[in-house]
């Protein structure tokens, strides 16, 4: 064996000091990467959900005041919000914990030309336990960005918003030739 691999030496033991000291740092980086990945997944899912909500509202909403106040408010908006919550993972405990989901708010503002649809997902703070046990004044030392990051990680969480603009659903009459055929 030594003739095949002369550069390999027989060692009785390996010093594990490096592994023992670097393992906690490795765990911290893995947790941060997982939480950042969760926020990226949430923002992409919010974009897709925003497109779905805007398009469905455009195609199924009504122009008359009576139907806007009744069917659109009572059924359509609630059904769209329920479908979006299911898509984002509010009904799945594992996904809800991974994305730190707290609640979803959907606002629809109609105007003359455009309908503005705003989806806002509020997240819980990720609460990385060994980072949140320290006092924020000692950690941040009056740095505004650090205080904002500490508040997101340990106290308040954050919000992910998506804004979509939708035109009116003007259902054109099908084209008919002048001779009526």
Tokens of 129: 């336990």
β-pairing, 101-110 vs 114-123, is: antiparallel
Note the pTM of the prediction, 2 decimals. 0.73
Question: Domain extents for the chain?
Answer: 17-167
Q: What is the pLDDT along the chain (181 residues), one digit of tens a residue?
A: 556 666 656 555 555 677 777 888 888 788 778 888 888 899 999 999 999 999 999 888 887 778 888 888 889 999 999 999 999 999 999 999 888 899 999 999 988 778 899 999 999 887 667 777 888 888 888 788 888 888 888 888 888 899 999 887 765 555 555 565 5
Query: What b/e sequence results for 21-42 when a residue is b if at least 16 CB atoms lie within 10 Å of its CB, and e otherwise?
Result: eeeeeeeeeeeeeebeebbeeb
């Amino acid at each position: 064996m030594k003739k095949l691999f002369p550069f390999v030496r027989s060692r009785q033991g390996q010093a594990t000091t490096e592994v023992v000291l670097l393992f906690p740092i490795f765990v911290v980086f893995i947790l941060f990467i997982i939480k950042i990945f969760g926020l990226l997944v949430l923002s992409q899912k919010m974009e897709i959900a925003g497109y779905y909500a805007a398009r469905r509202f455009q195609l199924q909403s009504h122009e008359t005041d009576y139907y806007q106040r009744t069917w659109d408010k009572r059924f359509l908006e609630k059904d769209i919000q329920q479908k979006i919550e299911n898509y984002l993972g509010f009904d799945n405990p594992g996904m809800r914990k991974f994305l730190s989901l707290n609640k979803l708010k959907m606002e629809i503002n109609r105007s003359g030309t455009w309908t503005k649809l705003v989806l806002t997902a509020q997240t819980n703070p990720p609460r990385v336990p060994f980072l949140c046990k320290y006092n924020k004044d000692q950690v941040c030392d009056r740095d505004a960005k650090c205080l904002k990051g500490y508040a997101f990680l340990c106290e308040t969480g954050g919000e992910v918003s998506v804004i979509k603009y939708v035109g009116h659903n003007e259902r054109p009459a099908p084209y008919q030739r002048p001779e009526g055929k």
